[in-house]
Amino acid sequence: MRPTDWLQLGLFIGILAAITKPLGIYLTQVLDPAGKTWLDPVLRPLEKLTYRLMGVNPWREHGWKGYTFAMLLFSAVGVLFTYAILRLQHLLPLNPQGLPALSPALAFNTAVSFTTNTNWQSYSGESTLSYFSQMVALTIHNFTSAAVGIAVAAALVRGIARHSAATLGNFWVDLIRSTYYLLLPICLVFAVFLVSQGMIQNFKPYDTAKLVEPITLPVGTIDAAGKPSTEPQTITGQTIAQGPMASQAAIKMLGTNGGGFTNANAAHPFENPTPLSNFMQMLAILAIGSGLTWYLGKTTNNQAHGWSVWAVMMILFVTGVLTCWWAEAHGNPIHQAMGVVAADGNMEGKELRFGIFNSSLFATVTTAASCGAVNSMHDSFTPIGGLVPLFMIELGEVVIGGVGAGLYGMLVFVVLAVFIAGLMVGRTPEYLGKKIHAFDVKMAMLALLVLTASILGFSAWAAASAWGRAGLNNAGPHGFSEILYAYSSCTGNNGSAFAGLTATPADGDSHYNVTLALAMLIGRFLMIIPVMALAGSLVKKNIAPPSAGTFPVAGSTFAILLLGTVLLVGALNFLPALALGPIVEHFLMLHEKLF
Amino acid sequence: MSHSAPSLFDKAIIVPAIGEACRKLNPRLMLKNPVMFVTQVGAVLTTSAIFTSSADRCFVVQLAVWLWFTVLFANFAEAVAEGRGKAQADSLRKARKDTQARRQRGGKEDLVAANMLEMGDLVVCETGDVIPADGDVIEGIASVDEAAITGESAPVIRESGGDRSAVTGGTRVLSDRIVIKITSERGNTFLDRMIAMVEGATRQKTPNEIALTILLSALTLIFLLVCLTLKPFGSYAGIEFSTPVLVALLVCLIPTTIGGLLSAIGISGIDRLIRRNVMATSGRAVEAAGDIDVLMLDKTGTITIGNRMASDFVPAPGVSELELADAAQLASLADETPEGRSIVILAKAKFNIRARDLLQQHASFVPFTAQTRMSGVDLEGRSVRKGAAESITQWVRQHGGIYPSEVGQAVTAACNAGRTPLVVADGHRVLGVVELKDVVKGGIKERFAQLRSMGIRTVMITGDNPLTAAAIAAEAGVDDFMAQATPEDKLKRIRLEQAAGHLVAMTGDGTNDAPALAQADVGVAMNTGTQAAREAGNMVDLDSNPTKLIEIVEIGKQLLMTRGSLTTFSIANDVAKYFAIIPAMLMVTFPAMAALNVMKLGSPQSAILSAIIFNALIIVALIPLALKGVPYRPLGAVAVLRRNLLIYGLGGLVIPFIGIKAIDLVITTLNFA
């Protein structure tokens, strides 16, 4: 825990805080159909043309059902479109490696994964997907799934801010404006920046490099009788993946998608060449989510509320970073006692050019924000270091969270916090002047229940099944953490993996791919539907004017309350499961046992 | 009905409540409370595990016993709350004896049972008769003993027409004869509703209670998932969690504290209202009272004491104040009106003028009439009069005197200051002006300030002219006032406030108040009022005391606060319970987990038992709080929140750590586990 690292942490949070307001102001314009941006001269005609082609009247707003239906329709078409491309990959262009079509389960898993902004990857990008698949089938979703998240968050914020109304905005307008005015221009600039750092952007076939020192590895084969065996094989050359990486990396961070072009994701030197590119990518992950809290404050006319929500997110975030960093910096006592590793921490699974701090920070950023890009192996973290990313996801992806998704997830907790504690001031609980009634509580709890049920339910199924245990690389609590992490990551639409879990086994078992895909669908849409219903209920309510008796939704008391609700109502449910995973692993490690 | 709350440990309530707690174990009744139903199912599972489980039998037996106690304690809390109401219901029921009614139909009179009466029937009641059902007096005047419902032994006057026409079934006519038009349906009289209300028979869940039940049920469902999935998670790790242990974890995690006390809190909230002699037609109204942020208060009786009082003597030129006071006192000695008496009192206070025996002075009293609009006394050649300025002007001129312009100015000045001037004349001589003013109730200004700090605005309603109204409003410290307000104005104002998002409470008694009472979120009708007003409001104040509106709001707030505080407490408790049970569950297989046993509990079994026992006992420990409500303080929302969060949030985190440790010490010492 060096002073320079502290400095960088301070710088990171400082810059994030500084860009929150400008981004929030910009978001306010983007999310208003009549909003003005300096890109209007270029993009307005394109925007209008798009509406005309789609037959959308941008001034006609939807109620919550119409909005949700449009969103579901759009997402369903997206899943089918991507599924079709992946299944037909071998027939489509831009496939210099001649890669075959994906299996149905893997194609389904991947299509769902990218549509839901999860970007869980049950495959290795460079050895499975063609350039066409990457760019058309997947990158499109990186934009649209992010825009869908922003749209839903905007609809909920409008539901809170408007009163005695029926409509929440026009889904197509929110989708298109977020994509055109926000994501595309920033990505364009960001991609150019990443190229300047050495990230590649080409359509070349993969390169082959001759190794200076050939290595010999045991390679597993299956003989004619179906018996597996290994035989040594000497490797003299290495295939080096190429492709349009910068364009995908930009949106993968900004849109909190996280799906890497390569399997190594942001640990790959081409996908994350320099410490600066690393720093900027981390910033990009949190940027829009952070700006949306300002948008919340602006739209509800209570900037202090927006900042309070931001502050709660940052308290959780910084606590996570410090815990993870501390655990990694202290490393593994067993290894240190044996003299296997230096005492400066746990460097297993980390890139030397990032080191302990930047790996811990990245791991916390990417899981706090439901991004899922990784620059180190979470699987190789110490138990507590690995607990932090898992816990960040299980908080409900509300620590900044996925673009849009983080805000609406956090607002669900705000509604619950207001309801539980609101009664304590002696009034029917009210959130920004709106009374919280049975229906609102029902929808908020439903959103929470769905997440818990998906994570614990699927994990239990996998842990109890032969197919679940077969996919694990590690035994004991660490293996359990791998399962728990996979379903948490998918349900939370994060997409990062604890690694060590083989979702697409060689025997073709599709249980993992299908259940993980279901977890992603549940975590995304079964969460959005109650959230939209909540927005629909809130928008109809009248606003009671604020008075001395009004429940405060800003300031330290509210922040403590929200913090308590996120931890007690949201995360405590996972404590027993975590106790059997990383927590017990930690204590066993202290008693000199590893997995 | 008694105003004082029975002791929490009243044997007459506690003993039947124990039996009632067992009777409530009926699963069909338990289903209404999902949290406690799950607990009961857990208790059944654990009980059956005594015979099937391979675990330490002594431990499972103790666990089962405490789980049943948890359910029984919750039922007991509800039974105690209901018991307190039942005692009142019984006394009310005595009033609902089978009475005979003299029904008039087609000019003939026949005798029918009271429960055969229908709406619109005409009934005759004479001295000694019990009024058979609710209705309006349409003919006659009578004094009625309403002690059966109000507890007030002094009889009240009920007469046809006007605002005192409503009579209540079960009350008794003390004198005279009245004809009543029945206005209530069979079985739905005021008395019936009142009994149902105190008994909680028709008690429906209020909106907040429903929302809270949903929250608690969802939490229960979540924890059910947590415990169910722990079984496969455990077998993955090579631990076989037994059913009793999983049930123990589940019951500790689900919000049994608030789940067990929720209905008791609701019942006792209504009970507190009834003790203040306010009948709410629904629990919903009590809850709405807590949400009120605009109070529309009638000036007279609420803000000012009923009548105006003499406050100053302003003598005419050439007249001493003493002379004026002397004459004014003389003119008022026989005047029994409160205003008249107040003049006598003021004269005594200022100049020590004593009461004189008018009869000895051969005086004759001239009473106030609507025509003369003045009163006074004639004695020994003097005719002293006091009255409104115009009347006295006329009187003086008739007697050949002049009305000095200074007196005219004094009259105008008094009006401008919101006072009522009475001019006093002796024959043709104008002596001066006695100023009467409304006396604002002591402490009311502070009360309004408290309300303001809680975010509640007060609007004074008065029939006075705007000047008078403004002066009183300023003195009483209300936020706003409506002068020369008609019932229509009130209705309009309520609608306006509601459209702006406010919730409004008001009191009223007249028939023309009915629309406004119905429109208000909380409408408190005075029991002395008309049947229409009583039907329109959602509460009736049996004492007919408009000030009570403020207390009603406080009771509503207290009810909501109690619910919120205990919910927060209940949820915060989970942290300590996790720290007790999770290490205990894992320590056998993974001894390294002992590090998480921060409370250093004796053994895994004692840890689980201690958590369960704490969980059960905390329900009993909190019954008094649930019944009495959390201490109420008139503070702003931020201060209240901070305070309650500190007590019930932080307290909820810390107390179980201490409690579980203490119980563990006892258990370990006694060798129970």
Instruction: Please spell the DSSP secondary structure of B178-192, one letter per residue.
Output: EEEEE-S-TT-SHHH
Chain B hits for A572, Cβ within 8 Å: 574-575, 578
* Distance of alpha carbon B139 from alpha carbon A547, whole angstroms: 49
Least confident of A213-227, B202-216, B256-270, B552-566: A213-227
Give the residue among A371, A355, A363 at the shortest CA–CA distance from A287.
Answer: A371
- Chain B residue with Cα closest to A422: B564
B651 touches chain A (CB under 8 A): no
Query: What pLDDT, on a 0 to 100 scale, did the predictor assign at position B2?
Result: 41
List pLDDT tens digits, range A362-392. Answer: 999 999 998 989 999 888 898 999 999 999 9
Query: What pLDDT, on a 0 to 100 scale, did the predictor assign at position B595?
Result: 87
| DSSP calls for B544-587 | --TTHHHHHHHHHHHHHHHHHHHHHHHHHTHHHHHHHHHHHHHT
Contact A587 B593 (CB under 8 A): yes
B586 touches chain A (CB under 8 A): yes
Chain A hits for B567, Cβ within 8 Å: 420, 423
Nearest CB among B218, B231, B232 relative to A445 is that of: B218
Q: What is the mean pLDDT of the segment spanning A55-73? A: 95
- The yes-or-no verdict on residue B4 having pLDDT over 60 is no
* Distance of alpha carbon B419 from alpha carbon B401, whole angstroms: 26
Cα distance from B515 to chain A (closest Cα, Å)? 23
Contact B592 A590 (CB under 8 A): yes
- The yes-or-no verdict on residue A22 having pLDDT over 90 is yes
Nearest CB among A419, A460, A573 relative to B222 is that of: A573
Give the residue among A365, A376, A375 at the shortest CA–CA distance from A402.
Answer: A365
Nearest CB among B207, B561, B590 relative to A426 is that of: B561
- The yes-or-no verdict on residue B229 having pLDDT over 90 is yes
Average pLDDT for chain B: 85
- The yes-or-no verdict on residue B64 having pLDDT over 90 is yes
Query: What pLDDT, on a 0 to 100 scale, did the predictor assign at position B151?
Result: 67
Query: What pLDDT, on a 0 to 100 scale, did the predictor assign at position B673?
Result: 65
Q: Is A218 a member of any domain?
A: no
* Distance of alpha carbon B362 from alpha carbon B357, whole angstroms: 9
Q: Kindly report whether the global pTM for this prediction surpasses the value 0.90.
A: no
Chain A hits for B568, Cβ within 8 Å: 420-421, 424
Least confident of A134-143, A228-237, B456-465, B567-576: A228-237
Given a contact cutoff of 8 angstroms between Cβ atoms, the answer to whether A195 and A271 are in contact is no
- The yes-or-no verdict on residue B201 having pLDDT over 60 is no
Cα distance from B294 to chain A (closest Cα, Å)? 11
Would you state the structure tokens that stand for residue A514, as one six-digit string?
A: 């299908």
Cα distance from A498 to chain B (closest Cα, Å)? 18
Cα distance from B277 to chain A (closest Cα, Å)? 22
Contact A464 B236 (CB under 8 A): yes
Residues 504-533 of B with CB under 8 A from A: none
Given a contact cutoff of 8 angstroms between Cβ atoms, the answer to whether A126 and A243 are in contact is yes
Q: Give the structural domain span for A455.
A: 3-201+245-594
Query: What pLDDT, on a 0 to 100 scale, did the predictor assign at position A276?
Result: 93
Residue in the block written with tokens 């190229």: A195
Torsion of CA B343, B344, B350, B355, to 10 degrees: 160
| DSSP calls for B123-156 | EEE-TTPBP-S-EEEEEEEEEEE-HHHH---S-E
Cα distance from B258 to chain A (closest Cα, Å)? 12
Number of domains making up chain A:
1
* Distance of alpha carbon B668 from alpha carbon B673, whole angstroms: 6
A301 class by beta-carbon count within 10 Å (0-12 exposed, 13-18 middle, 19+ buried): exposed
Q: Is A425 a member of any domain?
A: yes
Contact B564 A436 (CB under 8 A): no
Instruction: ipTM value, please give it.
Output: 0.91
Strand partners, A234: A216
- Chain A residue with Cα closest to B258: A420
Chain B hits for A534, Cβ within 8 Å: none
Average pLDDT for chain A: 90
Nearest CB among B219, B229, B640 relative to A459 is that of: B229
* Distance of alpha carbon A483 from alpha carbon A149, whole angstroms: 26
Contact A564 B641 (CB under 8 A): no
Residues of B carrying an active site annotation: 298
Chain B hits for A476, Cβ within 8 Å: 237
Contact A560 B645 (CB under 8 A): yes
Nearest CB among A551, A573, A588 relative to B641 is that of: A551
Type of residue found at A476:
G
**% of chain B surpassing 90 pLDDT:** 24
> Averaging pLDDT over each range in A315-324, A568-577, B279-288, which range is the top one?
A315-324
B574 touches chain A (CB under 8 A): yes
B25 touches chain A (CB under 8 A): no
Query: What pLDDT, on a 0 to 100 scale, did the predictor assign at position A76?
Result: 96
Q: How far is CA B146 from CA B99, B105, B131, B153, B164, in A?
A: 16, 27, 10, 7, 13
Which backbone phi and psi does B557 adopt, to 5 degrees? -65, -45
Contact A438 B454 (CB under 8 A): no
Q: What is the mean pLDDT of the segment spanning A328-344? A: 76
- The yes-or-no verdict on residue A478 having pLDDT over 80 is yes
Residues 284-313 of B with CB under 8 A from A: 287, 290-291, 293
- The yes-or-no verdict on residue A68 having pLDDT over 70 is yes
Cβ neighbours of residue B537 closer than 8 Å, sequence gap 6 or more: B281, B508, B517, B518, B520, B523, B524, B525
Q: What are the helix (H) ranges across A234-332? A: 245-254, 275-299, 303-330
List pLDDT tens digits, range A344-358. Answer: 788 888 888 888 999
* Distance of alpha carbon B263 from alpha carbon B204, whole angstroms: 10
- Chain B residue with Cα closest to A475: B237
Q: Is A179 a member of any domain?
A: yes
Cα distance from B164 to chain A (closest Cα, Å)? 35
Tally of residues, chain A: 595
Contact A441 B641 (CB under 8 A): no
Nearest CB among A421, A441, A583 relative to B211 is that of: A441
Query: What pLDDT, on a 0 to 100 scale, did the predictor assign at position B45?
Result: 94
Q: Which residue has the higher pLDDT, A174 or B634?
A: A174
Contact A577 B212 (CB under 8 A): no
- Which one of A425, A467, A556, A568 makes the best mutation probe of the B interface by having the most chain B beta carbons within 10 Å? A425
Query: What pLDDT, on a 0 to 100 scale, did the predictor assign at position B623?
Result: 92
Q: Is A214 a member of any domain?
A: no
Given a contact cutoff of 8 angstroms between Cβ atoms, the answer to whether B300 and B464 are in contact is no
**% of chain A surpassing 90 pLDDT:** 61
B588 touches chain A (CB under 8 A): no
* Distance of alpha carbon A75 from alpha carbon A81, whole angstroms: 10
Which backbone phi and psi does B541 adopt, to 5 degrees? -95, 115
Contact B641 A425 (CB under 8 A): yes
List pLDDT tens digits, range B606-661. Answer: 999 999 999 999 999 999 999 888 888 888 888 889 999 999 999 999 999 999 99
* Distance of alpha carbon B555 from alpha carbon B549, whole angstroms: 10
Angle at B575 between CA B569 and CA B580, to 5 degrees: 120
Contact B455 A480 (CB under 8 A): no
Q: Is A233 a member of any domain?
A: no
Query: What pLDDT, on a 0 to 100 scale, did the predictor assign at position A218?
Result: 78
Contact A580 B595 (CB under 8 A): no
| DSSP calls for B447-502 | HHHHHHHTT-EEEEE-SS-HHHHHHHHHHHT-SEEETT--HHHHHHHHHHHHHTT-
Angle between helices B405-416 and B466-476 (to 10 degrees): 50
Nearest CB among B564, B585, B590 relative to A424 is that of: B564
Given a contact cutoff of 8 angstroms between Cβ atoms, the answer to whether A95 and A63 are in contact is no
Element holding A446 (H helix, E strand): helix A438-464
Given a contact cutoff of 8 angstroms between Cβ atoms, the answer to whether A138 and A8 are in contact is no
C-alpha Rg value of chain B to the nearest Å: 33
Question: Chain A to chain B, count of Cβ pairs less than 8 Å apart?
Answer: 219
* Distance of alpha carbon A135 from alpha carbon A314, whole angstroms: 34
Chain B hits for A437, Cβ within 8 Å: 207, 211
Residues 424-453 of B with CB under 8 A from A: 452-453
